[in-house]
A = this chain, B = another copy of it.
């Protein structure tokens, strides 16, 4: 899977190592609000494939941020929720969210300008 045995020079690398996956940030933000089932997450994330979603969730689980609860029934039901360590990230995530909003606004003009696809020649 994902090897995480490296030596860190700085504590922030630990956090980044754990949070830097294509969908992990959003997943963690969603789970701050409430627990989610696998399919609900898939719907929220819209364009994620089940394989990749499973990967991201497994890694978050291995890193101790979320728990996976299986309800033995048909059809199956699996609920993902935050561990205390995952909840400890809430304030951090909110700050990242805020910064992202303001930064996107700043760069937002650039993004909007290239909405027209007739750009490259």
Contact = CB atoms under 8 A, between A and B. Distances in A.
A95 interface: yes
A53 interface: no
A9 B98 CA distance: 14
B95 A9 contact: no
Q: How many copies does the complex hold?
A: 2
Interface of A: 5, 8-16, 18-20, 25-26, 29, 45-46, 63-64, 85, 88-89, 91-93, 95-104, 106-107, 111, 114
A23 to B, nearest CB: 9
Contacts of A19: 16
Contact of A88 (B46, B89, B102, B111): B102
A35 to B, nearest CB: 18
B11 A104 contact: yes
A99 B89 contact: yes
Nearest to A62: B107
Given A88-B102, A95-B95, A16 B25 contact: yes
